[in-house]
Amino acid sequence: MKPRKLKLIAEVSGFPTAIAEVHIQNFASEADLKDWTDLVCPTCLEPTEYKGGGYECKKCNGSYSWWGKLLRVVKGTKTKVEMPRLLKEGEITVGKLYKMGREDFAKYCDATKAERGVIVSDGGSAHNLFKLLVATEKLDCVIITVYNDTTEQVVALLKVSASGRILLQEIIPANLVHMKETLMLNRNEITEKDVTEAKAFVAQFIPEANEETLQVSDYRTAFLDEHIEQPEKETAKVVQIKEIMAKVKA
């Protein structure tokens, strides 16, 4: 999404009321391979040219059907970029856990790369995971895990989403992130007066949302009913962690 100006409004008594005007943009991005590498002919290490759905090398007349057959080198050199496997085939991934105070973590960027759902395989895991979640919610604590994927290391935060789902939020590593400006909030600076005023403000100006609020109406949904199979409604796949803990105690 390209940067744009966004006017936030709420309908009060049927009339649009301006609440705030903000500028929105992606506040962080990850250093990309194309920033520091080139794809070259794997035979002579010279640049190729894209032609007719493939890549051709003028020097050795090599022809390659897709970019995956080219060799990746450090930009401006002929040094091959090695990508050794960090995780063996069939190996169980091990994530090391760390904690950091939320105030200390605020100096770092938590730009999301991906979010993944979390389930547990046994009661003991549920109990221990619950303790970590309480720490994130009530103790101003950030729980971090670091683990190896196939060729890259992953840094992720254990978190509870706005809907109460337990997630691992993969973030851009601190030494690979390109930062832009964005607003921040220091939770410790919120006073009881602020809470009282916010409660009154929301009650007066912000209407209740419903299921329709969470749906869109654009080209993606124009022919949805006729041509696309609808996803099943959410079922008991969403499990409360307390339920698992209770079963273990029983």
Residues 18-76: tens digit of each pLDDT: 999 988 888 888 988 888 999 999 999 999 999 888 999 999 999 999 999 999 999 98
Nearest-angstrom CA–CA distance, 124 and 126: 5
> What pLDDT, on the 0 to 100 scale, is given for residue 73?
96
> Quick check: 159 and 91 in contact, CB under 8 A?
no
The C-alpha atoms of residue 172 and residue 198 are separated, in whole angstroms, by: 32
pLDDT at 233: 58
Question: What does the longest C-alpha to C-alpha distance in the chain come to?
Answer: 74
> What was the pLDDT predicted at 228?
64
Secondary structure of residue 121 in the 3-state scheme: coil
| CB burial string 97-111: b at 16+ within 10 A, e below | eeeeeeeebbebbbb
Strands 63-64 and 54-56: antiparallel
Q: What is the pLDDT of residue 135?
A: 95
**What Rg, from alpha-carbon coordinates, does the chain have?**
25
Q: What is the pLDDT of residue 138?
A: 93
Query: Within 10 A of 226 (CB to CB), how many other CB atoms are there?
Result: 6
Confidence class for position 122, pLDDT limits 50, 70, 90:
confident
197's CB contacts (< 8 A; 6+ apart) are: none
Q: Which residue has the higher pLDDT, 237 or 46?
A: 46
> What residues does each domain of the chain span?
33-74, 86-179
The percentage of the chain sitting over the pLDDT mark of 70, rounded to a whole number, equals: 92
Q: Which tens digits make up the pLDDT trace of 188-206?
A: 899 999 999 999 999 999 9
What's the CA gap between 156 and 188, in Å, rounded? 24
List, for residues 125-141, the tens digit of each pLDDT value.
999 999 999 999 999 99
Q: Which residue has the higher pLDDT, 120 or 240?
A: 120
Q: Give this prediction's pTM.
A: 0.80
pLDDT digits (tens, 9 = 90+) for 136-155: 999 999 999 999 999 999 99
Q: Regarding predicted confidence, which is higher, 172 or 219?
A: 172
Alpha helices in 106-175 (DSSP H): 123-138
Q: Look at residue 187 in the predicted model and tell me its pLDDT.
A: 86
Which helix (H) or strand (E) is 90 found in, with range?
none
The residues near 124 (Cβ < 8 Å, ≥ 6 apart) are 248
Nearest by Cα to 188 from 98, 131, 104, 109: 104
pLDDT reported for residue 188: 85
The residues with which 158 forms a beta bridge, in sequence order, are 143, 168
Beta bridge partners of 38: 73
Condensed to tens digits (0 to 9), the pLDDT of residues 2-31 reads: 889 999 999 888 889 999 998 888 888 898
Q: How far is CA 59 from the centre of its chain?
A: 42
Distance CA(87)–CA(93), nearest Å, equals 7
Report the sign of the C-alpha dihedral through residues 135, 140, 146, 149, in that order. Answer: positive
Pick from 170, 233, 138: which is nearest to 30 by CA? 170
